[in-house]
Structure 1
Amino acid sequence: MEHKMKLYEEPFRAIQSGKKTVEIRLHDPKRRKLKENDTIEFTKLPSEDEKLLVKITKLCTYPTFREMFEDIPAEKFGIVDNNIEKRVESIHTLYSPAREQEWGSLAIEIELLFP
């Protein structure tokens, strides 16, 4: 099954370059439909003029983003700085702590198929 998601420029480019191999999302109803070996078409925001196709190689759920960041090496997220506090603060600008508590977090390990 193919899924569609959107990404801002920086994470889009990190996946495109191969530096980022794990995408972070809430484990909400839309993401609960993901399965290993499914594909995701990422569209770059804001212009939506570029797309990437990736294959899901592994899915890992965590109660919190902090637990995810403590478990998965920073380089898989395309991050050089391993400051977990900063990463939690940053992800909370996209996903509120209330939504995190409601749904939990999802690490989507991916393999680039088509740049």
Structure 2
Amino acid sequence: MEHVMGLFEEPFDSMKNGRKKVEVRLFDEKRRKIKIGDTIYFIKVPEQKTSLTRVVTGIKKYATFRELYEEIPASLMDAADRTIDQMMERTYKIYSPKQEKKMGVVAITLKAK
């Protein structure tokens, strides 16, 4: 199955260059449909003219972003230069703690197709 997700420029370029191997998202209805072996078609936003495709090699659910960040090496998210608190601060600019509590979160491990 193929899924479509948007990525802002910095994480998109990081994934394109092979530095970002794990995508972090809320475990919402859309992400609950993702299975190992599926393909994700990432579109760079906001311009939506550039894309890349990755294959899902792993899926791990967590109750919170902090739990995820404490377990997954930051280098796999191209965030080795950030503390967990810095990662949390950036994450909460995109997702709210209320959303996190309601849905949980997921780490999606990817490889180039």
Q: TM-score range by the shorter chain?
A: over 0.9
1:34-79 Cα offsets, whole Å, 9 max, x none, are 0000000000011100010000000000000000000000100011
Counterpart of 1:59 in structure 2 is: 59
Output the CA distance in 2 between the equivalents of 1:16 and 1:52. 7
Counterpart of 1:33 in structure 2 is: 33
1:51-110 Cα offsets, whole Å, 9 max, x none, are 100000000000000000000001000112240011011101100000000001100000
- Computed over aligned residues only, the root mean square deviation of the Cα atoms, in angstroms, reads 0.7
Output the CA distance in 2 between the equivalents of 1:76 and 1:14. 10
TM-score (norm 2): 0.98
Deviation, 1:25, is 0.3
The letter for the 1-side match of 2:91 is: I
User: Is 1:45 aligned to residue 45 of structure 2?
Assistant: yes
Structure 1: give runs of 5+ residues left out of the alignment: none
Runs (4+) of structure 1 exceeding 6 A deviation are: none
Counterpart of 1:69 in structure 2 is: 69
Deviation, 1:26, is 0.2
8 Å contact kept, 1:15–1:112: no
Aligned positions, number:
113
TM-score (norm 1): 0.96
Structure 2: give runs of 5+ residues left out of the alignment: none
